[in-house]
């Protein structure tokens, strides 16, 4: 599932990527909130929209556009607030989260990291075999983020989805930690205790 985060408009797109670098749109929507509403109510609305889609579609991964600093501080803050609740909703369900920069998304979809929005929309429509250009732009961007992650991580091409997921600042996802635990049969605390015992035995 791809997400174009925003507090006024937050785009969500669920796609199924194929090994032949094509894909299918399963769902797309843009959740909007009004600036006249209380901030807490707006953030909650975005959170609930994300939770509903995550529960309905249970995606393999949630890919979200990375928040960049902006000359417009209020916009950057609002985007970060929307991102936070969407990310938390995915993490609460054990769904891996991946971040991609706008230039990464454009380069993946159009082969040009500086492509304009029309070029991105045309390629999204072509890749997903849509009947027309996706609208509004928030829907296009959500689709593009999902496509970008699908191609960069090898979804549908027998890649290990958990291992391929890139996380913010290199943090390991909950699923990666669980996979590591299953491979050893021990929790992180148990492994730490075992390592301590080994070090003590060598003294």
Binding residues for Mg(2+): 4, 65, 138
Residue list, annotated binding site: 4, 65, 138
What does the alpha-carbon distance between residue 159 and residue 136 come to, in Å, rounded to a whole number?
32
Catalytic entry in 60, 104, 138, 141: 138
What's the rounded Cα separation, in Å, for the pair 18 and 162?
Answer: 17
CA 190 to the chain's CA centroid: 31
Q: Please spell the DSSP secondary structure of the chain, one letter per residue.
A: -EEE--SSEEEEEEEEE-TTS-EEEEEEEEEE--TTS-HHHHHHHHHHHHHHHHHHH--S-EEEEPP---SSHHHHHHHHHHHHHHHHHHHHTT--EEEE-HHHHHHHHHS-TT--HHHHHHHHHHHTT-SS--SSHHHHHHHHHHHHHHHHHTTTTT--HHHH---GGGPPPHHHHHHHHHHHTS-HHHHHHHHHHHHHHH-
| Catalytic site includes residue 138 | yes
Catalytic residue (one of 4, 60, 104, 141): 4
* 36 catalytic per annotation: no
Q: Would you call 197 a catalytic residue per the annotation?
A: no
How many Cβ atoms are within 10 Å of 65's Cβ, its own excluded? 24
Bridge partners (DSSP) listed for residue 14 = 27
**Would you say how long the chain is, in residues?**
203
Active site members: 4, 65, 138
């Amino acid at each position: 599932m791809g997400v174009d985060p925003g507090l006024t408009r937050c785009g969500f797109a669920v796609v199924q990527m194929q090994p032949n670098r094509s894909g299918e749109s399963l769902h797309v929507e843009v959740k909007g909130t009004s600036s006249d509403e209380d901030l807490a109510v707006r953030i909650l609305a975005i959170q609930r929209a994300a939770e509903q889609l995550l529960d309905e579609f249970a995606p393999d991964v949630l890919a979200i556009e990375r928040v960049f600093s902006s000359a417009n501080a209020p916009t950057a803050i609002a985007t970060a607030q929307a991102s936070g609740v969407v990310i938390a909703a995915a993490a609460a369900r054990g769904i891996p989260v991946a971040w991609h920069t706008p230039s990464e998304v454009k380069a993946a979809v159009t082969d040009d990291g500086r492509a304009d929005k029309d070029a991105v929309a045309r390629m999204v429509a072509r890749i997903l075999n849509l009947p027309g250009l996706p609208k509004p732009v928030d829907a296009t961007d959500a689709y593009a983020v999902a496509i970008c992650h699908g191609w960069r991580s090898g979804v549908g091409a027998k890649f290990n989805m958990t291992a391929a997921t890139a996380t913010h600042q290199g943090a390991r996802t909950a699923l990666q930690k669980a996979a590591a635990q299953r491979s050893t049969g021990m929790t992180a605390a148990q492994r730490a205790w075992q390592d301590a015992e080994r070090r003590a035995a060598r003294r």
